[in-house]
Amino acid sequence: MSVLVAIRNLSKIYEHGRQQVRVLHHISLDIQQGDFLVLMGPSGSGKTTLLNLIGGLDSPTEGVIAVSGKRVERMSEAELAQWRAANVGFVFQSYNLLPMLSARKNVELPLLLTKLSANRRRHNAGVALQLVGLAAHMEHKPSELSGGQQQRVAIARAIVSDPALLVCDEPTGDLDRQSADGVMSLLQQLNHVYGKTIIMVTHDAKAAAYARHALYLDKGSIVPRAAFQRA
């Protein structure tokens, strides 16, 4: 396997008035193409910050982030927006669906940034919804769907542009166990069958069990699993 994400000496410091809060401390790691990596650790350990940096939603204070050989931390805001649209799919704890739009229209939204025709956008959104098992619900609005179904729509939206990388922040956090297992089975299928590289933050050990690997963070640093378990 080749390295999809290469991180070197990555640090993030937030300014709060005169105070500096160091959230990440000199993180270095490689994430292989086709991996399904889960980030675990206590609240405030830096998991979501690391995820946002990899996805280009935030910029590091220092260090290198390369995705498919492209230096993300060097990009301008305009370049980042274009790069994210083409290369990264986002799945969050809250589904972030527009309530007045159908499932299909919600999934089409990322494609509005492309040069695809309206017919092609409609077709691609339909394919994505079929893939997540919602072919019969394409014209349903979010209020007509269960929480698990809404998260599946969000996943369809994340994959509709065929990104190399999926970043997921607590994707099962608002779901009951059955719905959570359904969403995790879908993510696992996207990884095993379709080769999507997935990086996911979760506190849920049962959700984490669907991943191939786990990385443990505490106080902004990568720690061994044994240290995480003792904590």
Residue 202 · residue 172 · CB < 8 Å: yes
Per the domain annotation, does 105 fall within a domain?
yes
Of 13 and 225, more confident: 13
* CATH number assigned to the domain comprising residue 112: 3.40.50.300
Number of domains the chain contains: 1
The tokens for 107 are: 């999934």
What pTM value is reported for the model?
0.92
Give the CA count within 13 Å in the CB-facing half-sphere of 69. 1
Domain extent at residue 87? 33-60+77-230
**Banded pLDDT at 230 (limits 50, 70, 90):** very low
Per the domain annotation, does 50 fall within a domain?
yes
Per the domain annotation, does 148 fall within a domain?
yes
Per the domain annotation, does 14 fall within a domain?
no
Q: How far apart are CA 74 and CA 42, in angstroms?
A: 30
Contacts of 185 (CB under 8 A, 6+ apart): 210
Per the domain annotation, does 107 fall within a domain?
yes
Query: What pLDDT does 124 receive?
Result: 95
Of 144 and 1, more confident: 144
Residues 146-168 have pLDDT tens digits of 999 999 999 999 999 999 899 99
